[in-house]
Amino acid sequence: MLRVFGIIVLVGALAACATPTPYQQAESGGFGYNQRQIEDNRFAVSFRGNTLTDRETVETFLLLRAAELTLERGADHFILVRRDTDTDRRFVGTGDRFRSRYGFGYRYYHPRFGWHGWRDPFWDDVHVREVTRFEAMAEIMLVSGESPGGPDAFDARQVVSNLGPVARAPGA
């Protein structure tokens, strides 16, 4: 029984690692949203996604957090003063050039050149995959009362009503 429970916990932990970043506050530099007050009505807001969270989702969650923060502070609208999305792209390679697929390798030591391996042109594959993470950041200014107008001004209530269900939907 204990063994079955251990397997269930392990499978659950692995499944949790293989999902996009949910809409949540980031914990100690992790994935999710953060905010920092700059002035009385000005904030820096960011959302950082893991490798399974696409750019559109990261930017959507940033706008949603900006709108929620606006309403929490008693304002009606927010203006995006500055907005940017950073892309962290790296390549991860797998495969050992000194081992074949069958588990044995062809390594030898040359006194002048050190350790070398025989390269099999048919079975010596190195697999490379791209790992991409997105982080969206914005500086927002909170406005109460009338809409300031312009393409960078948002009604916080409309943003929450339109984007809120998307962020809380299963799999979002």
Residue 67 lies in a domain: yes
Give Cβ neighbours of residue 77 (< 8 Å, ≥ 6 apart).
Answer: 70, 142, 143, 144, 147, 148, 153, 154, 155, 156
**Is 65 contained in some domain?**
yes
Does residue 1 lie within any of the structural domains?
no
Q: pLDDT of 79-137, one tens digit each? A: 999 999 999 998 887 765 545 444 455 566 777 777 666 655 555 566 778 889 999 99
Q: Residue 107: inside a domain, yes or no?
A: no
For the whole prediction, is pTM greater than 0.75?
no
| pLDDT tens digits along 27-77 | 887 899 999 999 999 999 999 999 999 999 999 999 999 999 999 999 999
In a domain, 33, yes or no: yes
Identify the domain containing residue 140 by its residue range. 19-93+130-168
